[in-house]
Amino acid sequence: MKTVILACSVMRTEIEQVLPPDNQVEVRYLEQALHRTPHLMPGRLQAEIDQVSSYAGRIVLGYGLCSNGIVGVAARRQRLIVPRCHDCITLFLGSRASYDELFHKIPGTYYLTPGWIEEKKDPLSIVEIEYTPRVGSETAIWAMQEELKHYTHIALISSGLTDIEPYRRRAQENAAFFGKEYLELTGTLDYFRKMVCPDLLDEGDVVPDDFVSIAEGEELTQEMFLSP
């Protein structure tokens, strides 16, 4: 029974690391830009689900609630399984407990991963690539400073899968430019392993508490992502 995973491209390195060798998991990566346009996410994800529903045994989304960007997405011919978390940072940290602990300890933290930096979605890259061509450098910097004004730290999450040094330098550059403290955190692949696990959905249609599962014809709601 083939598992199809629809995931954000920033997770490619982590997911590829934990894929089983039996070719029973197919992964489709979607562009990271959806993160900044959550109103476009339901339609884009639904289109992908509809494409694979004719042959998938189960479909897993590599997304959290993502600013309600997956609300309204429906299961078609098979169950749809989604990590029970608010955003993908929980996936990189390995659990909701790890995320909650950090949130309460250092609430004003802006998180980066090698994938986010690779995709040019760190604050400096957004200023340089997205904002400056539209509004000019001075206004672009001001706009990003406004977006980050409630943050006190910039943290880089590393799962040890790649040479971290170039990503460390870029994360530190972001922290220094915007006047934030720099943190480095060790991530895990635990959540990603669960996502690709062939036994995630058992014969009793039960999934772990850190996932949401909906049946054919049901739609995802915000309430489903509250702690069970």
CA-to-CA distance for 183 and 34, rounded, in angstroms?
A: 26
Let me know whether 71 and 109 are in one domain.
no
Let me know whether 105 and 146 are in one domain.
yes
Let me know whether 65 and 7 are in one domain.
yes
How much is the mean pLDDT over the chain?
Answer: 90
Q: Does residue 212 surpass a pLDDT of 80?
A: yes
Let me know whether 58 and 132 are in one domain.
no
Let me know whether 117 and 199 are in one domain.
no
* Secondary structure letter of residue 121 according to DSSP: -
CA nearest neighbour of 14 among 190, 207, 198: 190
- Give the DSSP letter string of 149-205: TT--EEEEEE-SSS--HHHHHHHHHHHHHTT-EEEEEE--SHHHHHHH-TTSS-TT-
Let me know whether 209 and 181 are in one domain.
no
Q: Tell me: the pLDDT tens digits for 40-95?
A: 889 999 999 999 999 998 899 999 898 888 999 999 999 899 999 988 899 999 99
Let me know whether 213 and 163 are in one domain.
no
Let me know whether 78 and 9 are in one domain.
yes
Let me know whether 201 and 212 are in one domain.
yes
Q: Cβ of 108: how many Cβ atoms within 10 Å?
A: 13
Q: What is the mean pLDDT of residues 128-150?
A: 97
pLDDT score at 21? 84
Name the pairing type of β-strands 211-214 and 80-83: antiparallel
Let me know whether 100 and 159 are in one domain.
yes
Domain tally, the chain: 2
Q: Does residue 202 surpass a pLDDT of 60?
A: no
If 0-12 CB within 10 Å is exposed, 13-18 middle and 19+ buried, where does residue 191 land?
A: buried
pLDDT score at 203? 46
* Secondary structure letter of residue 226 according to DSSP: S
Written as six digits, the tokens of 32 are 């990271």
Which residue range forms the structural domain that includes residue 130?
95-186
Phi, psi torsion values for 16, nearest 5 degrees: -60, -30
Q: Among the listed ranges 70-74, 86-90, 97-101, 195-199, which one has the minimum average pLDDT value?
A: 195-199
Let me know whether 36 and 65 are in one domain.
yes
Let me know whether 155 and 172 are in one domain.
yes
